Structure 1
Amino acid sequence: MDNFFEKAWEVACLIPVGRVTSYGAIARYLGAVRSARMVGWAMNNCSAAKVQVPAHRVVNARGVLTGKHHFPGNYVMEELLASEGVLVKDNQIVDFEKVFWDPVEELGIH
């Protein structure tokens, strides 16, 4: 696939249930280190994907739910994460390092 959004969606679909990654980690995996914001745009537009993309599993580099406003309610992202066992407090992932999934480490170099 040549489309950056589609590549970002593919990586997001590989994030295991109960784990999260960051926009920057997906960008790094795709070889576009400075494109974290583009990954965010991709997650915001994932309704255009042909598959259901678990965009709720993608957060910022500190584990903050910066994309929560793009869900159909202020707490939907947090509720989806909680349903998978990921704890959130004050819009931030609790024990972020423990639930962080790094595609470069898990999938190898792209």
Structure 2
Amino acid sequence: MKIPPSTGPALVGVLVGAVAVMILGFSFGGWMLGSSAQKMADQRSAVAVIDALVPFCVTQSKADPTGSAKLVELQAITSTYERRDFIMKAGWATTPPTEAPNSDLAMACSKVLS
């Protein structure tokens, strides 16, 4: 069986077209690898968990017997990182199953309480 002479350029065209579709798909079409999608899902779920726990932190600040005095102190602090540390030291960003405060929760809580 003899291969027609136009088969070579057709195969090259198919190969170039496949590579072009892959480049366009990954660059502009929204395609991604499974590992990239997993990273994005992990980041979004972490943000959602923090958003869900912010009301808990605010409730902790209101339930604290010295909470009103601490809120006045918190308002006087200008640095966001110092506010985060203040909330962590106050214990408002510590959720019940854990013993250590969550710094991301403290940062989000400081934005709400300010």
Taking structure 1 as the reference length, the TM-score comes to: 0.29
Taking structure 2 as the reference length, the TM-score comes to: 0.28
Which is higher, the Rg of structure 1 or of structure 2? Answer: 2
Q: Which protein, 1 or 2, shows the higher relative CO under an 8 Å CA cutoff with sep ≥ 6?
A: 1
Q: Larger % of helix: which?
A: 2
